[in-house]
Amino acid sequence: MKLSIPILSCALLFSVFGFSQNQRPIISNVSAAVDWSQQVINIGYDVSDAESDNLEITFKVSSDSGKSFFYSTAITSGDVGFPITPANGKSILWDYNDTVTDFSKFLFIIEANDRQPVNIQDIVNQVDSGRLYDNVSFMEGIRHRTTGTVNLQNTRDSIFHRFETYDLLPWIHSFSYGSYIGQNIIGNLPGMLSEDTVYIIDAHYDGVSGGPAADDNASGTAGVLEAAHILSQYSFDKSIRFIGFDLEEAGLAGSVAYVSNGILPQENIDGVLNFEMIGYYSNRPNSQSVPSGFNLLFPAAYAQLQADSFKGNFITSVANTSSNSLNSSFVANAQSYVPQLKVVDLSVPGNGTIAPDFRRSDHAPFWDANLKALMLTDGANFRNGNYHTTNDVKDSLDFAFMTNVVKATIATAAALAGPRHSDTKVFWVNNPIGINELNWDCEILSHYQKAKNSIQLRFENCTPKKLRYTLIDEQGRVIMEAKNLKVENEVEIKVTAPLAKGVYILQMANEKGQSYTTKLLVE
């Protein structure tokens, strides 16, 4: 889900696919403002469509900064629904709940859908082996909570930043592991029709204490980032989550915590596609071994491997009994959209306790919660002799193979979630602080001090007792906020992280509900 589709991208689509390719609508010039006296929010927007198709306009509201968009929009009027004719100067009027006094955590989505079909093959073909290589290269190195803390944190920050760049409204699900605070990084692509149905693409980003962990599991994490990069350019009927799990190498601690208390109450998880080492490939005979008893549990798969001289030239898709339908979807979509990828699909009985080697990743807690999940794996130590050693480096991986695995996964997620031929915009209301919009007869001087990373405020002709503020960037995102800040004639507000260059909006209100808005220029 992107905030905009550049005109250049549209031109490129014309040149690649020809003028017969139906173009997605384009939303622009979105604005939103609260009318406190009427208790409504006015949304304005322009929308165009190259073919002048009638459009379906969908409007959704989040009250939790984008984790979900289930907040009621029952009393909505204006240019919303179907059919809406493309034009400038469109407007939507939302009569919000009259108990709302603070919009600082409210986030809005508007979508324009021309109801044209989406070619999943076009989505799949965007997977780029160069990006996969670059992402693995960045993460390669010890990523362990005790021996590789710097690289672990850099990887964690990079995942969050990428999700943010792709407008996936990221958040962190924190959990305790002794004295260590684990962090699952979550990106959200909310469904526009059935948001409560969720599909997850995940991988663990931590590694073992003594190795660079390229295959285990920078390869899987790179796959998640590539899937996020591509799928975020589209909207879907159902929701897609992208998750980087922490502490898989500590007994699946991150995914166990997520399944225990990270799933939102409204969510119905209908499928998990878990990348667990997806980069090692070998066409050499006898390069693939199997766990003890494999031939008894999976005689057909064993015969298939035996007929191909036990070459490690396939991806294994591991399901449990209740996940067989998901496994069938993965196999079918791989055959349809990535026929060059060889898939060996397995189904363990029950929750797989009879075959513990197939429970060694973050899909297992979902199985235990009776949720459908697959482990997509190159076989770990049964193929890759570098497993958990210092030789687990990117140069040992096959990025063409990894590319095909990611393609098959993207095809499966897209087919299940239902792609929409649309454009979306995510935005905050212009004045999120719940104030009465009363003029504040006060002169306030504001300045950002880069050296101190703080905002300096000086009040003249007034002395507020308490201050409430919200700092917003140019994209409408809330950078920081506080309530009941005690102040005198001068106050210094420490900023949580250094501000990038740009213009910021500082909205303030005193204890009487009187408001003041100013701009901060950061150079």
Mean pLDDT, consecutive 10-residue stretches, the chain (523 aa), reads: 39 41 94 82 95 97 94 93 97 86 87 98 98 97 96 95 92 96 97 98 97 98 98 98 98 98 96 98 98 96 98 98 98 98 98 96 98 98 98 98 98 98 90 49 80 86 81 77 81 88 80 73 78
Residue 429 CA to residue 56 CA, distance in Å, equals: 22
pLDDT at 496: 85
DSSP string, 329-354: HHHHHHHHH-TTS-EEEEEESTTSTT
**What is the H or E stretch that residue 245 is in?**
strand 238-245
Residue 425 inside a domain? The answer is: no
Please indicate, yes or no, whether residues 467 and 358 belong to a single structural domain of this protein. no
Buried b (16+ CB within 10 A) or exposed e, 458-486: ebeeeebeebbbbbbbeebbbeebeeeee
Question: In the chain, how many H helices and how many E strands?
Answer: 11, 26
Please indicate, yes or no, whether residues 241 and 213 belong to a single structural domain of this protein. yes
Residue 1 inside a domain? The answer is: no
pLDDT at 155: 96
Please indicate, yes or no, whether residues 104 and 193 belong to a single structural domain of this protein. no
Q: Phi, psi (5° rounding) for residue 394? A: -65, -30
pLDDT at 479: 86
Please indicate, yes or no, whether residues 393 and 457 belong to a single structural domain of this protein. no
Residue 37 inside a domain? The answer is: yes
> How many structural domains comprise the chain?
3
Cα 314–Cα 315–Cα 316 angle in degrees, nearest 5: 115
Residue 94, domain CATH: 2.60.40
Residue 502, domain CATH: 2.60.40.1220
Q: What residues form DSSP beta bridges with 492? A: 456
Please indicate, yes or no, whether residues 379 and 475 belong to a single structural domain of this protein. no
Contact 356, 349 (CB under 8 A): no
Position 446, amino acid:
S
Residue 2 inside a domain? The answer is: no
The strand pair at 268-276 and 194-204 is best described as parallel
Please indicate, yes or no, whether residues 98 and 222 belong to a single structural domain of this protein. no
Domain boundary (393, 420, 447) is at 420
Domain boundary (55, 88, 116) is at 116
Please indicate, yes or no, whether residues 248 and 329 belong to a single structural domain of this protein. yes
pLDDT at 475: 63
pLDDT at 8: 37
Please indicate, yes or no, whether residues 105 and 134 belong to a single structural domain of this protein. no
How many other CB atoms are found less than 10 A from the CB of residue 385? 13
Domain boundary (394, 420, 446) is at 420
The strand pair at 26-35 and 107-113 is best described as unpaired
Q: What is the largest CA-CA distance in the chain?
A: 87
Nearest CA to 418 among 229, 239, 159?
Answer: 239
Please indicate, yes or no, whether residues 374 and 269 belong to a single structural domain of this protein. yes
Q: What residues form DSSP beta bridges with 185? A: 172, 244
Residue 171 inside a domain? The answer is: yes
Residue 121 inside a domain? The answer is: no
pLDDT at 478: 80
pLDDT at 474: 66
Please indicate, yes or no, whether residues 469 and 333 belong to a single structural domain of this protein. no
Residue 298, domain CATH: 3.40.630.10
Please indicate, yes or no, whether residues 215 and 160 belong to a single structural domain of this protein. yes
Residue 433 inside a domain? The answer is: no
Range of the domain at 144: 127-420
Please indicate, yes or no, whether residues 300 and 201 belong to a single structural domain of this protein. yes
Residue 429 inside a domain? The answer is: no
Position 63, amino acid:
S
